[in-house]
């Protein structure tokens, strides 16, 4: 089986805030259709690393390659143009408008009548419903305001919108933290369906069971360095906990 070339490569990234070294010589990669769980205790450097990939922070040294090319991700807008999206716990949806309006935000379909722009509401609704069906998500009415939907349904809209508009890499920041058991199960299934479409995912989570259920690899940060980078099939939750706590530091990966 041919192994795909990395979509994202982080090479020897470092970042300091005054005397505090948040990241020190961090390297890892993620391939199309691969789920990488980014693990580590609070203060390990996960948020700093994600902010660099999403364009919010710039590294002091090191480089980022995207699709094999050295890339300066100098803003969230640049990240979006590349096809990189970060979905945070609080999401970026507008709660007081419906699913269709959120799905097409900034991309509305319009036609002109007597010089006035009129939105093609039926087409937008049909496209939204089809896009949700394509990733196996069901929302009873896409004309429901987002504020009335569950956390899992809102997350599905975010991911569906990203997939539909040509995203290549999505970063999920604690995607299950505010979800119940059933919503979490659906969220895990949704990640699998997104992965099947060839999209790369980086999942930040504190839940070891979720990481092993959904991820192909785990990358562990500890005090700003990579303490471990292993396929989930070749390691254990106990070993990962040891990497997080420092009882088992990084081993060479063949």
Mean pLDDT of 222-247: 93
pLDDT at residue number 1: 41
Q: Which domain holds residue 35?
A: 17-97+147-245
In a domain, 201, yes or no: yes
Residue 38, beta-bridge partner list: 204, 219
Asked if the model's pLDDT at residue 91 lies above 70, the reply is: no
Asked if the model's pLDDT at residue 178 lies above 80, the reply is: no
Count of domains observed in the chain: 1
Could you give the CA distance from residue 132 to residue 102 in angstroms, rounded to a whole number?
13
In a domain, 40, yes or no: yes
User: Could you tell me the CATH number of the domain that includes residue 67?
Assistant: 3.40.50.300
Mean pLDDT of 91-108: 88
In a domain, 87, yes or no: yes
In a domain, 200, yes or no: yes
Given a contact cutoff of 8 angstroms between Cβ atoms, the answer to whether 76 and 56 are in contact is yes
The two tokens of residue 38 are 């980014």
pLDDT in tens, 21-68: 999 999 999 999 999 999 999 999 999 999 999 999 999 999 999 999
In a domain, 7, yes or no: no
Asked if the model's pLDDT at residue 69 lies above 60, the reply is: yes
In a domain, 122, yes or no: no
The two tokens of residue 201 are 């995912």
């Amino acid at each position: 089986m041919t192994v795909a070339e990395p979509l994202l490569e982080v090479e020897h990234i470092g970042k300091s805030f005054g005397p505090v070294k948040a990241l020190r010589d961090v390297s890892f990669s993620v391939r199309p259709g691969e789920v990488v769980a980014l693990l580590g205790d609070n203060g390990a450097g996960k948020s700093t690393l994600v902010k660099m990939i999403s364009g919010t922070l710039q590294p002091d040294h090191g480089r980022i390659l995207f699709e094999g090319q050295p890339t300066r991700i100098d803003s969230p807008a640049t990240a979006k143009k590349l096809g990189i999206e970060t979905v945070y716990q609080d999401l970026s949806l507008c709660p007081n408008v419906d699913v269709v309006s959120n799905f097409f935000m900034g991309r509305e379909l319009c036609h002109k009548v007597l010089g006035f722009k009129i939105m093609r509401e039926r087409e937008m609704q049909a496209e939204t419903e089809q896009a949700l069906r394509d990733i196996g998500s069901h929302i009873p009415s896409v004309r429901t305001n987002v504020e009335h939907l569950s956390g899992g349904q809102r997350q599905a809209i975010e991911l569906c919108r990203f997939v539909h508009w040509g995203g290549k890499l999505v970063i999920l920041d604690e995607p299950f933290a505010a979800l119940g058991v059933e919503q979490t199960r659906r969220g895990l299934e949704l990640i699998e369906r997104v992965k099947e479409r060839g999209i790369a995912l980086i999942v930040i989570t504190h839940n070891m069971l979720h990481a092993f259920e959904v991820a192909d690899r785990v990358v562990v940060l500890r005090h700003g360095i990579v303490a471990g980078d292993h396929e989930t099939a070749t390691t254990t939750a106990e070993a990962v906990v040891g990497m997080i706590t420092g009882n088992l530091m990084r081993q060479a990966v063949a």
